[in-house]
Amino acid sequence: MRNYTQFYIDGQWVDPIAPRTAQVVNPATEEVSGTISLGSAVDVDKAVAAARRAFATFGETSAKERLDLLEAILAEYLKRETELGEAVSEEMGAPMSLACGFHTLLGKGHLSTAIEVLKDFKFEEQRGVTMIRKEPIGVCGLITPWNWPMNQTCVKIFPALAAGCTMILKPPQLAPYSAQILAEILHDAGVPAGVFNMVQGKGSEIGTALSTHEDVDMISFTGSEPVGVQIQKDAADTVKRVGLELGGKSAWIVLDDASLATNVAAATGGMMGNSGQTCSAGSRLLVPNARMDDAIAAATEAANGVTVGDPKGNFAMGPVVSKSQYEIIQGYIEKGLEEGAKLIAGGLGKPDGLDKGYYVKPTVFVGTNHMVIAREEIFGPVLVIIGYDDVDHAVEIANDSNFGLGGYVSGEDLDAARAVSRRMRTGAIWVNGGFDFHAPFGGYKRSGNGREWGEHGFAEYLETKSVVGWNQA
């Protein structure tokens, strides 16, 4: 049993001002795995005050000082990487191979990338008589989700530190353990008091307190569209910067060539990774109508081949994060059946032999882009296959969405795949796979604004100042 009932404020572990706790449930067992404290606005006030005091000095540190700090954090991160992975698996149900693999690799990767970018980042640039300076924006409120805890936390913390900002982290209530360990890592690495602060609690309370606080200069939020909209409204009165990475309903376009079956299988398996709980997941699989039978056969085989079970075992997919999330996903599967979508794999209920835990069957439908299951973010292992007549039709379907976060194109003709990628209205596109920590990530349309990852992620935490007359020669 984990017992994390203190917050990290001003370089110390402190009790909440008004004691209140909540239990955390292990989604694989449906049993309580620990307890956390739930903070309130007064705890946020205390954390913001500490961050504001610390910014007076940390905001003036040199890039070399911040670089040394990030390298010290990396050394501590490496010592506890396995422990972080175990916490991720316990809190949100990822299989150990994934939690101690890609989950923690993402956190380490964002830290290493921040170090790499900071080494060469130009905080000053002279143009004519003007010096253009990039300066830290100030005190930042960082609000993170439960689905990729290390990724979404580290992609905010480390660029903010590199830029010279101070911060208050509000971790997800459903997945609070890894953030607690990360706070310990930052403390042990020597992060100055007040630079990093963490208050656990409900988003409706802690998130609102941060978004409305007059001494918070910037909010970075990753989560659902409705919450992101509310944060923008809450932040409007103080005209603070708001960076949002919200939902997605990403299209995966498979081109008509000899590799179609292989690419359909890869897209199906990719959708089931992390139990489908990925904002950029390719949840709409677009295939040529003329090859629909081949696509169905490949997707069915791939989905049926996804093993589901205890995160501690050798399974590809664990449970979804909570009972509520399980019920939401079941509701969407039922809606797909009601709409007349053709079910080719999975379906309602839990996989055979898994009566305990929030396990969902890897589910694949064949449907149309007008169905609810193709319009709304399900955030579970549910894929809908949609047929297209030609490439123009595929692009039209892909762009017919309120979201625009991710996109995928698979095909043997690289020039053709590139041409399709240029026409897709979405913030990040993967052509035949690939991965890059320096690739900016963020959304078009209702998927948010701003960009994270790499050098572009630094911009979220920097203000631009022009000093005219710097050069008077």
Q: Cβ(329)–Cβ(378) under 8 Å?
A: yes
- The answer to whether 202 and 59 have CB atoms below 8 angstroms apart is no
Distance, in Å, from the CA atom of 166 to the CA atom of 168, rounded to the nearest integer, reads 7
From 279, 377, 452, 460, active-site residue: 279
How far, in Å, CA of 97 to CA of 86, rounded? Answer: 10
Structure tokens at 5: 């009932």
Cα–Cα distance, 139 to 404 (Å, whole number): 29
Catalytic residue among 245, 377, 452, 460: 245
Instruction: Verify whether residue 116 is a known catalytic residue.
Output: no
Scored b (16 or more CB within 10 A) or e, 35-59 reads ebbbbbbebbebbbbbbbebbeebb
Cβ neighbours around 1 below 10 Å, total: 9
Lookup: tokens for 370 = 């007008």
* Sign of the torsion formed by the C-alpha atoms of 200, 201, 207 and 209: negative
- Reference 271, options 384, 402, 434; nearest CA is 384
Name the residue among 473, 4, 449, 384 with its Cα closest to residue 231: 449
Active site residue 154: no
Nearest CA among 307, 281, 266, 319 for reference residue 29:
319
Tell me if 241 sits within 8 A of 210, measured CB to CB. Answer: no
| Eight-state DSSP code of residue 324 | H
Tokens 């919450």 -> residue: 227
Place of tokens 């944060």: 231
> Which sequence positions are flagged as catalytic?
245, 279
